[in-house]
């Protein structure tokens, strides 16, 4: 049988292409367009509701029904190369029944976003961590289980990034992935386990380039 000859340059290109994914090589700032509507964000003002006390926070009170979930990652500058300290991340989610339930009367967003929400500020290495429970999809099964994330950089207005959703679960298919904006990097995560057996979602964040002015 005759072997087909593949030029070295073509072979290298194929190998490089096979090793590239959305989760391993964040696009450089020169390759990422500035979103003119970056700050068009209903509810992002909730990022101001609390002053974070550290880079780690619990979103779920003791005894909250559901399987424990740890969310952690690193926040990078728009080039995807330099960790950024001092960035506030606001997160909120549904409970184990898929509801934004048991919110307080503190303000509109505390009511609408429910009980399971939290704030952190990235540490000197750009790291952050939330401890919570795994959310459930909405009861009408109209959307996958997810955790909403809002970013608040020093001196900038807050903006939303792609929700954390869980690879391989209901509704997280090729069509869903293609429709996402990839704001803040890829938010589709594959769950693993911590050393003590808790669910672990690792979600790095690449900050968005900001509009001029």
Per-residue pLDDT tens digits for 151-193: 999 999 999 999 999 999 988 999 999 999 999 999 999 999 9
Query: Where exactly are the structural domains of the chain?
Result: 28-206
Q: pLDDT tens digits for 26-51?
A: 444 446 899 999 999 999 999 999 99
C-alpha dist (Å) from residue 161 to 5, 97, 117? 46, 24, 16
Which CATH number applies to 28-206: 2.60.40.10, 3.40.50.300, 3.40.50.720, 2.60.130.10?
Answer: 2.60.130.10
DSSP structure class, residue 165: E
For residue 12, name the pLDDT band (cuts at 50, 70, 90): very low
Provide, rounded to the nearest whole percent, the portion of the chain with pLDDT above 70.
85
Encoded tokens for 92: 């909120």
C-beta of residue 146 within 8 angstroms of C-beta of residue 203: no
């Amino acid at each position: 049988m005759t072997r087909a000859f593949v030029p070295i340059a073509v072979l290298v290109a194929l190998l490089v292409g096979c090793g590239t994914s959305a989760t391993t090589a964040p696009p450089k700032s020169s390759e990422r367009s500035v979103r003119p509507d970056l700050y068009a964000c209903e509810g992002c003002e909730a990022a101001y509701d609390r002053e974070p006390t550290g880079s780690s926070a619990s979103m779920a009170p003791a005894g909250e029904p559901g399987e424990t979930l740890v969310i952690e990652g690193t926040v990078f500058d728009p080039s995807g190369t330099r960790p950024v300290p001092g960035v506030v991340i606001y997160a909120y989610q549904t409970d184990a029944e898929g509801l934004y339930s048991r919110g307080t009367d503190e303000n509109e967003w505390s009511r609408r976003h429910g009980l399971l929400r939290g704030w952190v500020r990235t540490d000197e290495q750009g790291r952050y961590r939330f401890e919570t429970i795994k959310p459930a999809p909405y009861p009408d099964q109209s959307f996958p289980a997810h955790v909403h994330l809002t970013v608040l950089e020093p001196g900038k207005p807050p903006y939303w990034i792609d929700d954390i959703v869980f690879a391989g679960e209901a509704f997280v298919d090729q069509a869903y992935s293609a429709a996402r904006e990839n704001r803040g990097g890829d938010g589709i995560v594959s769950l693993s386990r911590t050393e003590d057996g808790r669910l672990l979602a690792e979600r790095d964040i690449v900050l968005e380039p900001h509009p001029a002015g």
